[in-house]
Amino acid sequence: MYNYRRKKSILAPTALIIITVFLVITFIRCSCGVGGNKKIKFSLTTKSLSLKAGELSRLEYKAENEEDMQLLSDNITFESSDSSVVHIDPVGNAVALKAGNATITASYGDVKKICEVKVEKKEPEKLSFTTAISANDNILNKNKSQGSQYYLYSIKVNKLKNCVTVYTYDKSGKYNVPVRAMICSCGKGDDTPSGEFIIGIKSEWLSLLGNVYGRYISQINGNVLFHSVPYLTNEDPSSVEVPEYNNLGKSVSMGCVRMAVSDAKWIYDNCIEGTPVKVYESENPGPLGRPEAMKNNVATPLHWDPTDNSKSNPYYNKKPKISGAENVSVPLGEEFSPLSGVTAYDTTGSDITKKITVQGEVNANKAGEYLLIYSVKDAMYRSCTKYRYITVK
């Protein structure tokens, strides 16, 4: 016969012990913080943020000592009240996605701190048609508005570095204020003569040596001219010599100063006859540095100067592209390389992968969803931005 009373007397003390142990563990866990860690005090030093869409900012927090800070870093969690406005990753990187407001809540155990985030709309990028470097617009605009006995500009051509720098005058009338730097191609050695000259005659198109044609001609001295890279057909902007265009920045001309068509046009439009020109040699390209040359993709050449702002230009609306930055999942603890397999191409389709920058980070040892911002900008200042979600689990 089954002895119910005897069995019950055996189980009762065991059950009591189990319940007691459970209650003790529960009490200990309730007396501590997340995951059994001790309770700590912490604060968000970033209490509010004002960002533009596309910007990233790291939320900063602190604890009372190094030990607590380590516990906090390991166990703190973040949550956005509107992830369509602001994405927050497990380590506290906030990425502004669109205009609006969101509240970021940082939690450790039952302690919560908040950061209010306001996101403004990002201004749309304007299409750029130049590789030139510009500076000191405030002084230049003041000189334009006030007028003067001086020529507005003075041009210096560094034929050693193939760089043209344009200056305006300072308060004393000296041309010490650089406003624009442009890449060019001069001749070798003395093919482009050194000296001081002035801008002479101008012509929108002109026949050049070698049965080719130049655009936006501004005379420097005799047959030495500022002009575009040569075209094969007169008055046909779709006939640029691609190999010669890709030589911008090298000493390959027959003596003239070749430029991208937008830069030749800038001198043609802005530097009147009589504007002083100095041709010299120096290892220093100039105070603004030397701009990068745009390249026409030789694999699929379109025979247009990419800086030509004609709407007929097939490069008119094109922008750089980033490929290979698709959303992925990464196993917890596995190393992740953000640039692995990612490539970028500029407005003409030339490879500019080395120019990619990445904002944000992925902590492969902390589960959650991370957001990386990939950006690239080509020599014409046209850019591409791509968001990539990395899920660690």
CATH number of the structural domain spanning residue 372: 2.60.40.10
Confirm whether 289 is domain-assigned: no
pLDDT recorded at residue 14: 54
157, 229: one domain: yes
Q: Same domain, yes or no, for 153 and 275?
A: yes
Whether 172 and 242 map to the same domain: the answer is yes
**331 falls within a domain:** yes
| 89 and 68 assigned to the same domain | yes
What pLDDT is attached to residue 37? 54
Residue 36: what pLDDT? 46
Which pLDDT score is estimated for 4?
Answer: 39
Q: Which residues pair with 203 in a beta bridge?
A: 217
55 and 98 share one domain: yes
The range of the structural domain enclosing residue 234 comes to 133-280
3-state secondary structure of 46: coil
Specify if 11 maps to a domain.
yes
pLDDT on residue 25: 43
Torsions phi, psi for 271 (to 5 deg): -105, 100
In this structure, are 175 and 114 located in the same domain?
A: no
Measured in whole angstroms, how far is the alpha carbon of residue 234 from the centre of its chain? 38
The position carrying tokens 């406005």 is 85
**How many Å apart are CA 160 and CA 249, to the nearest integer?**
10
Same domain, 77 and 186: no
Query: Does the residue 293 lie in any domain?
Result: no
> Token pair of 198, please?
């002035």
Distance from C-alpha of 308 to C-alpha of 306, rounded to nearest angstrom: 6
Within a domain: 178: yes
Classify residue 296: in a domain, yes or no: no
pLDDT of residue 39: 83
Predicted pLDDT at 7: 42
pTM summary value: 0.86
Examine the domain organization and report whether 167 and 276 are in the same domain.
yes
Q: pLDDT tens, position by position, for the chain (393 residues)?
A: 444 344 444 445 554 444 444 444 444 444 444 444 578 889 999 999 999 999 999 999 999 999 999 999 999 999 999 999 999 999 999 999 999 999 999 999 989 999 999 999 999 989 999 999 999 999 999 999 998 889 999 999 999 999 999 999 999 999 999 999 999 999 999 999 999 999 999 999 999 999 999 999 999 999 999 999 999 999 999 999 999 999 999 999 999 999 999 999 999 999 999 999 999 999 999 999 999 999 998 888 899 999 999 999 999 999 999 999 999 999 999 999 999 999 999 999 999 999 999 999 999 999 999 999 999 999 999 999 999 999 999
What tokens were used for 287? 């105070």
Q: Which helix (H) or strand (E) holds 12?
A: helix 4-31
What pLDDT shows up at residue 148?
A: 86
Task: State the Cα–Cα distance between residues 155 and 282, nearest whole angstrom.
Answer: 15
In a domain, 299, yes or no: no
Quickly count: other Cβ atoms within 10 Å of residue 251's Cβ.
17
Could you give the number of structural domains in the chain? 4
Closest CA to 78 of 94, 65, 98, 67: 94
Q: Are residues 168 and 237 in the same domain?
A: yes
One-letter amino acid at 53 equals A
24 and 74 co-located in one domain: no
* 307 lies in some domain: no
Given 228, 256, 280, the domain boundary residue is 280
Same domain flag for 255 and 208: yes
- What pLDDT score does 19 carry? 47
Statement to judge: residues 56 and 92 lie in one domain: yes
What gap in Å lies between CA 215 and CA 305, rounded to an integer? 11
The answer to whether 185 and 202 are in contact (CB under 8 A) is no
